[in-house]
Chains A and B, each alone.
Chain A
Amino acid sequence: MSGLEAEIKAICKAVGNDRTRTMDIVRAVQDKHGCVSSEAIDVIAKQVGTPRVEVEGVVSFYSFLSEQPKGKVVIRLCHDIIDQMQGCDRVAQAFAEELGIAFGETTPDGMISLEYAACIGMSDQAPAALVNDVVVTHLSSDAAREIVRKLKADPDPKRLVASLGDGNNAHPKVQSMVMNNIRVRGPVVLADFDSGEGLRKAVAMTPAEVIRDIKTARLRGRGGAGFPTGLKWEFTRKASGDQRYVLCNADEGEPGTFKDRVILTEHPDLMFEGMTIAGYAIGAETGIVYLRGEYAYLRAFLEEVLETRRKQGLLGRNVCRKEGFNFDIRIQMGAGAYVCGEETALISSCEGKRGDPKNRPPFPAQKGYLDGPTVVNNVETFCCVSRILEKGPGWFAESGSKGSAGTKLLSIAGDCRRPGVYELPFGVTLREVLDLAGASDAAAVQVGGPSGQLVGPKDFDRMICYDDLATGGSIMVFGPERNVLEVVREFLEFFVDESCGYCTPCRVGNVLMKERVEQIIAGRGEPADLDYLQELAETVKACSRCGLGQTSPNPVLTTLKNFRPAYEALVKQDKDGFRPTFVLSEAVGDAEAISGRKSVHTHQ
């Protein structure tokens, strides 16, 4: 038996050779060996009893996993639109120059790899990067050069943390330079909290009464879709199945959002308590927090909080001395895949598979994780649950607007003076939000991240709530100097990269939308391209299989509606009626290369 084989067998054995724990296995192998090689895939497949192509499918699905060796240190520079606005391209250039490699490459000595990452949840302190699991923020080209010099002297990324962030970022188990940037503390999520109080009240009631309270509070899911939480729990409780599950969606991947990061850092107890209450309400014994790979730096801390809760009798057997109520929580790490924030893709990933969304019906409430009835809620939703039980549904429903009870955490970033997290009551207008954030001169605001909508000043008096401007939390501000079409192009590139590729419209349609927007930006669009884009976007929206493809056309659709002049200026007919859609020199480029000479038509 080779050393590698023995080591991988041990990794598999540690999770009971359970194929549903494939994610843990491949992550451990990647951490230890810098890749999950073909040989490693063979061993894993044999150990857990699955075809090797299944394991290969998993490894090839997630950004943080690789069949080819990566460096001992991987620098992942965040490349979302906010980071670009804050100068991440200069940082990128500095990294590439200092390392002597391009993005996607590894230094010849196998020490350092350089990659781009989609949003890593640090838009309020951009440009930022992950160095293995260590977050570095507020980067400049000088800082990048300094990082490379330090890594060359000592490859331990922990040494890059010169000063610690506020709050629990300085906790011994976190030790990160991340800042919380909490600007407004509302009464629900960010207020002080007595651990265990809501839970003790819950177990004094019947599960049906707990669900009734959640319904009375009119709590709707904070992930963005806004499904009534009490109803979801009731469906799950009533579905048939031996094992039920509570899943917490901590895969905060929507570019521009980082409010779950702050909750996970400062109020994990509130979230775990909400999950435990859900477990009691639906009759589950197992809870899983699906933590995005980008937030791995919080894992040890969260494990410690869980351990403390076990010691306090808030998790484990007979929780809160309630005879027969057993519930515990484990953390499932993701590995870099935006689509896993989609609840059925999240379930696939928890089951150790590719993060492909599933067909619905059946819905997770009927048949979710390992085919058991499953509740999937967002981090913030579970926090609201704890507070509803602690303070009562009436108290909760008092704040907010008519159709949207409670408060909402907003992550605000971009062209504003005070980026950060704001807990505000639903019904607040976008203008009030922008004033608070110091962005009164905003020209365009993306509400709800790339999958949301881009609105202009005429919409600034609209309200943040489920019935008007819905958002999972991301608010990106663009000043008058920004190019709206460039924003659209960036978002489409993001969706192309993050599509799982399962269904045709999303896999192909996003590529086609990006191609045409690029044509238009390059000044080679035609007036007819606007109808073309409209129809293409509508097809992708209508026919895609999951929320990713059903919302990825939104940047195109909302800008065609709200910023049409930006398109029209670029596709305007010239005086002579000529549009350079077709570029002869490009069309004959390949032929010229083969023949070794320039065409007579193009060598001007």
Chain B
Amino acid sequence: MSETIPITIDGVEVQAKPGQTILEAADAAGIYIPRLCYQKDLVPFGACRVCTVLVNGRPQPACTQPVAPEMVIDNSSEKVQTYRRNIIEMLFVEGNHFCMFCEKSGNCELQALAYRFGITAPKYPFLFPKREVDASHPDIFVDHNRCILCARCVRASRDVDGKNVFGFVGRGPHKKVAVNADANLGGTDAAATDKALDICPVGALMRKRVGYAVPVGQRDYDTKPIGSDIETSKAK
């Protein structure tokens, strides 16, 4: 399709394709919009709200909002960045995130976003919830302490793996990821090769016995900030 929809992101005119979301159009244009629950090839979920942008002054999630002509998008003002920083901080205090001993450290998107936003310590009080670790499966463990309820595993298991291993139970602050069995992950047909395991942005859903295969210091976000892959594509 040759027709494009002109939109403006941070003063830059971008030619978006019909049917694209704001986030997809920005990615294609080499403009990084921070995100956590969004994962390419999964149905957009709109849960984390880190990708909130102002569209003609109104807050909208970039991952689910389709482009429309005349959109003027603010992706970088102090206001937008404050919203995002606050949401990232909320995710830290809601769970029990101990980056210093998490084996996902350096590969964790939440941690990487905190670095990108210059968050050294959240201003919100830690809520210290009591959450369990499910290590019942021989090859996989689930640490609910680190889960940010992004539903990437839910979507990948359902739509890519065709298994429906994960789902949500409870509501409000008690909402959590549950498994499709009466007790724990060991009772499901989850396998270490599942796509659902590859896409957890944090250290909640992990393969056993491979934790430090890549040493700390050489991991995804140890050398370059999250989002730089998108931003460097613009330079080319």
Indicate which residue in B49, B83, B171 contacts A503 across the interface (CB closer than 8 Å).
Answer: B49
Any A CB within 8 A of the CB of B72: no
Question: CA–CA, A263 to B52, complex, Å?
Answer: 40
Any A CB within 8 A of the CB of B90: yes
Contact A61–B167 (Cβ < 8 Å): no
Interface bits B13-28 vs A (CB < 8 Å: 1, else 0): 0000000000000000
Question: CA–CA, A500 to B125, complex, Å?
Answer: 22
Q: Which residues of A contact B (CB under 8 A)?
A: 38, 41-42, 51-54, 56-57, 60-61, 337, 339, 354, 359, 361, 496-505, 507-509, 511-512, 515, 532, 535-536, 539, 542-545
Whole-angstrom distance from the CB of A529 to the nearest CB of chain B? 11
Question: CA–CA, A439 to B52, complex, Å?
Answer: 43
Q: Which residues of B contact A (CB under 8 A)?
A: 44-50, 52, 59, 61, 64-66, 82-83, 86-87, 90-91, 93-94, 123-125, 127, 148-149, 164, 166-175, 178-182
Contact B47–A502 (Cβ < 8 Å): yes
Contact B170–A542 (Cβ < 8 Å): no
For residue A42, which residue of chain B has the nearest CB? B182
Whole-angstrom distance from the CB of A60 to the nearest CB of chain B? 4
Contact B124–A512 (Cβ < 8 Å): yes
Question: CA–CA, A533 to B94, complex, Å?
Answer: 17
Contacts of A54 in B (CB 8 A): 164, 167
Question: CA–CA, A162 to B65, complex, Å?
Answer: 55
Contact A508–B90 (Cβ < 8 Å): yes
Contacts of B65 in A (CB 8 A): 361
Contacts of A51 in B (CB 8 A): 164, 167, 180
Contact A57–B87 (Cβ < 8 Å): no
Contacts of B59 in A (CB 8 A): 542-543
* Interface of A (DSSP majority class): helix
Q: Given A57-B178, A359-B64, are A501 and B172 also a contact pair (CB < 8 Å)?
A: yes
Interface centre among A42, A497, A543 (most CB of B within 10 A): A543
Contact A503–B47 (Cβ < 8 Å): yes
Q: Given A539-B83, A545-B61, are A53 and B179 also a contact pair (CB < 8 Å)?
A: yes
Contact A53–B166 (Cβ < 8 Å): yes
Contact A508–B93 (Cβ < 8 Å): yes
Whole-angstrom distance from the CB of A472 to the nearest CB of chain B? 22
Contact A507–B123 (Cβ < 8 Å): no
Contact B168–A536 (Cβ < 8 Å): no
Question: CA–CA, A589 to B151, complex, Å?
Answer: 37
Contacts of A536 in B (CB 8 A): 86, 124
Question: CA–CA, A503 to B171, complex, Å?
Answer: 11
Q: A502-B47, A508-B91, A545-B49 are in contact. List 11 more A-B contacts (CB 8 A).
A: A51-B164, A53-B164, A56-B178, A57-B168, A61-B170, A354-B168, A500-B175, A504-B90, A505-B86, A542-B59, A545-B61
